[in-house]
Amino acid sequence: MDNATNTRTALVFGGSRGIGAAAARRLAADGFSVALTYVSQPDKANDVVAEIEAAGGHALAIAADSGDPAALVQAVDTAVSRFGTLRAAVINAGIFRMNMLQSVSVEELQQMLDVNVRGVFLALQAATAQMHDNGRVITIGSNSAVRTGTPGSSVYAMTKAAVAALVRGAALDLAPRRITVNNIQPGPTETDMTSGFIPQLVDRMPLGRVGQPAEIAALVSYLASDASGYMTGSSLTIDGGFVL
């Protein structure tokens, strides 16, 4: 471990852009050394690292596909080797595909299950194997687990409901170690994933706007802090009132 970075360690799975990048920046500002994974855009991941380091923090980008179990374990090993035992893990990696029920192929279904469900489980398993007692796990789900609202999103909604259920069970399994496990369920948020349909979403939002990644990251910050130690197994919806 690098003694110069002997601080609290956080690992953000899927931290190169959008909500994941905002979470990485916020955790670094909170004093964590932050490792973040990416799949296909090393330039964006390296930009996040450079931004954190320019502000005086410590960060590391790690290539890891959340659909690859071995890559997830290796990402944890790399983060711990560089910065030390994990204090917090944010499991943000996921994919979003819209397709009407009868048009969903078996391959498309399997891909979403592999990344959005199996990948979350395996990341949680790998991270908590090398996490301090009293650690923090935060998954990034979706308010679609509560209200789908849009035709063509049945598979995505199913995977995010599975994440909410997983968090409840994992919270019980990890309670003896005082590791908390909580799930954030963002609504429409201005990211690369939503850029194509932001305009039509605004009119459906009670607050008259979509969310910003930094707002989701603020909730990540709380759940990663000591102040959240009595909360576990919860799914917290932050969506501008969309599910009301």
Pairing of strands 180-186, 33-38: unpaired
The residue annotated as part of the active site, out of 38, 156, 222, 230, is 156
d(CA 201, CA 189): 10
d(CA 222, CA 85): 20
Longest dimension (CA), the chain: 55
Q: Is 38 an annotated catalytic residue?
A: no
Q: Reduce the secondary structure of the chain to three states and give it as a string.
A: CCHHHCCCEEEEECCCCHHHHHHHHHHHHCCCEEEEEECCCHHHHHHHHHHHHHCCCCEEEEECCCCCHHHHHHHHHHHHHHHCCEEEEEECCCCCCCCCHHHCCHHHHHHHHHHHHHHHHHHHHHHHHCEEEEEEEEEECCHHHCCCCCCCCHHHHHHHHHHHHHHHHHHHHHHHHCCEEEEEEECCECCHHHCCCHHHHHCCCCCCCCECHHHHHHHHHHHCCHHHCCCCCCEEEECCCCCC
CA dihedral of 104, 72, 22, 191, whole degrees rounded to 10: -20
Q: Which residues are catalytic?
A: 156
